[in-house]
Amino acid sequence: EDQVTQSPEALRLQEGESSSLNCSYTVSGLRGLFWYRQDPGKGPEFLFTLYSAGEEKEKERLKATLTKKESFLHITAPKPEDSATYLCAVRTYKYIFGTGTRLKVLA
């Protein structure tokens, strides 16, 4: 059965304390992995698409990487405004979302 698991469920960081979020997957025929950010009371906001192992994408303090079994979202020197829930999704013949990591960055 295709599955997407995100860890940790929740993460509290001090401002400036870098860390990584994990998205592991067991799917047949990966056709893309996507990262989204979701603020409370809003719809998810698209961040990155990764297609093949070894690929990396960056945007401001965020960097997404992909291996054959998992993806990491690295957050470098986070700020309070990075606080949000981060979702990953994989595309096979359908779209499967993980349950997300709730990130809180403290000033």
Question: How far apart are the C-alpha atoms of 69 and 59, rounded to whole Å?
Answer: 23
Residues 59-88: x/- map of binding to another protein (CB under 8 A)?
A: ----------------------------x-
Give the list of residues 6+ apart from residue 37 with CB closer than 8 angstroms, or none.
44, 45, 47, 84, 85, 86, 87
State the number of binding residues for another protein (CB under 8 A).
21
Q: Are 56 and 74 in contact (CB under 8 A)?
A: no
Q: Which is nearer to another protein, 78 or 85 (CB)?
A: 85
User: Using the rule CB under 8 A, which residue among 24, 32, 55, 57 binds another protein?
Assistant: 32
Would you count residue 42 as binding another protein (CB under 8 A)?
A: yes
